[in-house]
Each structure stands twice: as C-alpha cells, then as structure tokens.
Structure 1
Amino acid sequence: MKKVIALVLSFIGIIVLFNGYNKNVQAEETKESMSSKIIRFHVLANSDSEEDQALKLKVRDQVLEYIAPKLKESKSKEQSRNILISEEENVRNICLKAIRDNGYDYGVNIQLNKQNFPVKTYGNIVLPQGEYEAYRILIGNGEGQNWWCVMFPPLCFVDISKGEPAYDENEKNMKEVLDDEEYNLVDGTKKEKDVTFGFKIVEIIKSFFS
C-alpha cells in the first residue's frame, strides 16, 4: 500500500511541476503582452519630507486637471503617447507654477521612457513587476516617494478631492484595452478569491492518510 501511495504522490508531484512550469511560461507571456499596452504615470517628490510630499500631491492635482480632458477620450496607447509628447512643455509650465505658488523653486524633469517597476497596486488593479513605459515627473531631486497610477488606459482620472481610485471605471477601462487573460493577471479582486492548485493537491495528499 505504501508503494502505491508513493507512486501516486510521485505522479502528482510531476503533474504539479509540469503544470506550474506551463503556468509560469504562460503568465510571463501574458505579463509582457499586458505591459506593452500600458503607460504608467509617476510623480516623484523632491524628498520624503512632509512638505515635499504635500507639494507632490499638489503638482499631481494640477497636472491631472489639465491633462485628463485631453487623454480621457484616447483610444490607443500611441494616441496617448503623442498627446503626452505634444503637451510636455505645457505640463512642465503647470508643474513649475504649482511649485512656485507653494513657495518652492524646484526644477522639473519630465520623462517618457521604459522603466522597471516592482509590484504595485492601484485600487483593484495589481500590476506585476516588470518593464513598463512610464510618464514620469521628477520634482527637484526626485528622491522622494512617488505617487503613481495608469495614464493609459485612463485610470488616473479619479475624484481628485478624495484621491481614491474609481474601482468600476478602472475595471471598465482596463477591459477595453486588455484581453481576458491579461485582465485576469492584474485583477486584484480575482487574486483574493482564487483557490490555488497547490491547496487542492494538499487536500488530495491528506485524503490518502485519512
């Protein structure tokens, strides 16, 4: 009987390893496809001081108020990118004005390039670690914690007075750009509900000894 159990467990182990490998390969391909469809938005404060962090949010608010109407109707990543490029000087002036109005003389560096990012959560959206195109505004030294969201699809256009993600709109906008597999990868609510295959295997193994 013990030999039979050992053989069954070995067979299950092979299935788990094979299944896990295939899932990892598929997930990596899905992640690359998903990340290629997104433009992230980051605003980096001069430092982590309370004053610099508060200034960062004021700059963010002014930028989003200006750029939101221009990007909200964008139908593609390329269209959004072109808008951001064409509006760079206007955005820079808005940032500088917000900084000056609050009594600071920091410079502003605006970048649109690819960056590696760790796992980040925005409301019900979880973006995995990886390389993404990002629109980045660095205030002063740009050494403080950043505020971030997704510029395309347009997830940034929230109720600025609350500063909270619009969950229903997030889902709608992401699904318009991502396919089902890509959306499932970033759906934070789905991740909370999923029962992993590993737990099922544990239950099967336990059943042999019960």
Structure 2
Amino acid sequence: MLDLSPILPPSPLRRPILGLTLLSHLAASRISQFHTMLEQLSTSTNEQDKDILNDVYIRWPVDLERSLMEGSYTKAWRAKSRAPRKEYEVLAEGLMGTIRNDIASCHEKAYQALPLAEASRLLFFDNESEAMKFGQQRGWNFSPTSKIFTFPSQPKNGTTSTTDAASGGHEDGESAGDLLERRGLVRKALEYATELEAIV
C-alpha cells in the first residue's frame, strides 16, 4: 500500500479510527496486537502522530486496558459511560462481555457456590433474571429454593486424554480436578509467554 500522507491532508477521523482499532483488539482479547499497535504509534516519526498517546481517542482504550490489567473491573465498567464517541460504545459492549466472562471464570475456580444476588452484583447485571440467563449459558446449576448457583466441578472446555481417562484421571495420587487445573495453568502461562514475546 502506498503512503500518500505527503500528498493528502491528514484525515480528521484518523485518530478516532486508530482508537477504535485499539479498542477492537482489547474487546477480542488480542492483547499482543493491542500493545504492538501502541508501540508503533509511540515510535512513529509521522508528524500526524505527534503527541498521539495524549489524544483522547487513544488515551481512552489505553486507560481501559490499564484498568483491566490491574483487575479494576469496576473502573473499566464505569469507563463505558465516558466513551469519547458513540462508535466506541458498540465495541465497549463487546468488551464488557469479555470482562463478564473473565470474572465468571475466576468465580468458577474460586468458589463452589455463589448466591444469585451476589452473582448479579459481581457480574454487573441490572437484574437477577439477566444473571440467571448468563449462568445457564455457562452451565451453572441453579437452585430456585436457595437462590444459589453451584459451579460444575469440571471446566467446560477441559479435556482429558484417553490415557488419563483410562487411569481415572489420576497421576501419582493426583485427582482429575487437580490435573485439569494444572493443565489450565500451563496453558495460560504459555499464552502469556506468546503474548509477551510478540510485544518484545
């Protein structure tokens, strides 16, 4: 593609579009692409990119990503109402879905059960019926009498090999749940390593 920046005047929508691109990477959990693009913008010698990291359209997704990396989900959730343009709100909705799923995954690993009211609050739902629908989609069990979610002991996407299945999932006295959890941690560590390598 030809660089026509010396000939054409800079587009007034350039920075909003760059910000939307950053936000789309964030919403799709493409963190390595997000940081790669940010690095390219910060080291650009293009006159149009002067002080670009301080631009409101770029700053907003950057601050949002920082909140997510800190685990400040409430701060990230509230930032949605301060989107710099209407177009950002559409992608922000997708990001909020990603945040909900991340929080839900943490709860599944940390707790055996969670009251409906607490799940609604932690997952930023306006009413309990939305939380119930979300829980059903994730395969959570719900008791209408106690109004408590219980989480399946085995992760939805967890798989065991035929060797593990034949041995009952045990390895040197290790339970099937421990084995799956260990594999999940290894998989996560490899994903982080791949993203770090892409950033560096």
TM-score by length of 1: 0.23
Q: Which structure's residues are more often strand, by fraction? A: 1
TM-score by length of 2: 0.23
From the two aligned structures, give the one with the greater helix fraction. 2
Higher RCO structure, 1 or 2 (CA under 8 Å, sep 6+):
1
